[in-house]
Chain A
Amino acid sequence: MRKVDKKTAEAYFRMRTRLIIIFLSIGFVVSFGVAAFAEFFSQFKFLGVEFHYYMGSQGAVIVFILCLFLNAIFSDRIDKKYGIDDTANAAVSDQKHTQE
Chain B
Amino acid sequence: MDSQMLVSLGLILVTFALYIGISIYNRARATSDFYVASRGIPPMWNGMAIGGDWMSAASFIGMAGTVMALGYDGLPYIMGWTGGFLLLTFLLAPQLRKYGRFTVPEFIGDRFESNTARLIAAIATVIISFTYIIGQLSGSGVVIGRLFNIPAAYGTMIGVVIIAIYATLGGMKGVTWTQVAQYMILIVAYIIPIIFMSFQVTGGNPLPWLTYGEIVDKIGQIDRELGLSEYFAPFTESDKSQFLALMFTLMVGTSALPHVIVRFFTVSTMKAARWSGAFALLFIGILYLSAPAYAAFSRFILMTQVAGSPMDELPAWTQSWMDTGLLKTADQNGDGILQWTELSVGEDIVVMATPEIAQLGLFVIGLVAAGAMAAALSTAGGLLITISSSFAHDIYYRLIKPDASDAKRLLAGRIAIVLSTVIAGLVALDPPGVITQIVAWAFALAGGTFFPVLFLGIWWKRMNTQGAIAGMLAGLGCTLAYIFLAMSGITLLGIQDTGAGLIGVPINFLVCILVSKNTPAPPQHLQDDVIDLRYPEQMTYKDGEVWINDGTQN
Which of A2, A50, A58, A72 has a CB less than 8 Å from the CB of B292? A58
Mask of A63-100 contacts with B, CB within 8 angstroms, 1/0: 01101110110011001000111101110111011001
User: Cβ of B550 < 8 Å from any Cβ of A?
Assistant: yes
Q: Which of B512-554 contact A (CB under 8 A)?
A: 534-540, 545-554
For residue B247, which residues in chain A have a CB less than 8 angstroms away from its CB? 31-32, 35
Q: How far is the CA of A13 from the CA of B540 in the complex (A)?
A: 13
Q: Which of B223-271 contact A (CB under 8 A)?
A: 232-235, 240, 243-244, 247-248, 251, 268-271
Given contacts A2-B548, A84-B538, A88-B538, contact A20 B83 (CB under 8 A): no
A3 and B271 within 8 A (CB): no
Chain A CB within 10 A, most for which of B86, B97, B214: B86
Chain B CB within 10 A, most for which of A1, A42, A56: A56
Task: Name B243's closest neighbour in chain A (CB-CB).
Answer: A35
Which of B90, B285, B553 has a CB less than 8 Å from the CB of A61? B285
User: Cβ of B89 < 8 Å from any Cβ of A?
Assistant: yes
Which of A9, A53, A60, A69 has a CB less than 8 Å from the CB of B232? A53
Task: Name B274's closest neighbour in chain A (CB-CB).
Answer: A72
B86 and A27 within 8 A (CB): yes
A23 and B90 within 8 A (CB): yes
For residue B282, which residues in chain A have a CB less than 8 angstroms away from its CB? 65, 68-69
Task: Name A38's closest neighbour in chain B (CB-CB).
Answer: B234
For residue B78, which residues in chain A have a CB less than 8 angstroms away from its CB? 56-57, 60-61
Given contacts A12-B535, A56-B72, contact A88 B234 (CB under 8 A): no
For residue B274, which residues in chain A have a CB less than 8 angstroms away from its CB? 68, 71-72, 75
For residue B83, which residues in chain A have a CB less than 8 angstroms away from its CB? 27, 31, 60, 64
Report how many A-B pairs have Cβ atoms within 8 Å.
192
**Interface secondary structure of A, over-half rule:** helix
B contacts with A, residue count (CB < 8 A): 67
Which of A6, A75, A92, A100 has a CB less than 8 Å from the CB of B537? A92
B86 and A23 within 8 A (CB): yes
Q: How far is the CA of A64 from the CA of B286 in the complex (A)?
A: 12
Q: How far is the CA of A52 from the CA of B274 in the complex (A)?
A: 29
Looking at the assembled complex, report how far the CB atom of B534 sits from the nearest CB atom of chain A, in whole angstroms: 5
A64 and B548 within 8 A (CB): no
Task: Name B98's closest neighbour in chain A (CB-CB).
Answer: A93
Q: How far is the CA of A3 from the CA of B243 in the complex (A)?
A: 50
Q: How far is the CA of A61 from the CA of B288 in the complex (A)?
A: 8
Q: How far is the CA of A94 from the CA of B82 in the complex (A)?
A: 31
For residue B251, which residues in chain A have a CB less than 8 angstroms away from its CB? 31
For residue B554, which residues in chain A have a CB less than 8 angstroms away from its CB? 1
Looking at the assembled complex, report how far the CB atom of B450 sits from the nearest CB atom of chain A, in whole angstroms: 19
B240 and A36 within 8 A (CB): yes
User: Cβ of B100 < 8 Å from any Cβ of A?
Assistant: yes
Q: How far is the CA of A58 from the CA of B100 in the complex (A)?
A: 35
For residue B82, which residues in chain A have a CB less than 8 angstroms away from its CB? 60-61, 64-65
A79 and B289 within 8 A (CB): no
Mask of B280-308 contacts with A, CB within 8 angstroms, 1/0: 01100100110010000000000000000
Mask of B76-92 contacts with A, CB within 8 angstroms, 1/0: 10110011011101110
User: Cβ of B12 < 8 Å from any Cβ of A?
Assistant: no
Looking at the assembled complex, report how far the CB atom of B197 sits from the nearest CB atom of chain A, in whole angstroms: 16
Given contacts A38-B240, A65-B278, contact A89 B537 (CB under 8 A): yes
Q: How far is the CA of A65 from the CA of B288 in the complex (A)?
A: 12
Which of B271, B292, B534 has a CB less than 8 Å from the CB of A75? B271
User: 21 pairs across A/B with beta carbons < 8 Å?
Assistant: A1-B548, A1-B550, A2-B547, A4-B545, A4-B547, A12-B535, A35-B79, A48-B214, A53-B75, A58-B292, A61-B288, A65-B278, A69-B278, A72-B277, A76-B271, A84-B536, A88-B551, A89-B537, A93-B537, A94-B39, A100-B100
Using CB atoms and an 8 Å cutoff, list the residues of chain B in contact with chain A: 35, 39, 67, 72, 75-76, 78-79, 82-83, 85-87, 89-91, 97-98, 100, 209-210, 213-214, 216-217, 232-235, 240, 243-244, 247-248, 251, 268-272, 274-275, 277-278, 281-282, 285, 288-289, 292, 534-540, 545-554
5 nearest CB pairs, A to B: A48-B213, A56-B75, A57-B292, A68-B278, A38-B234
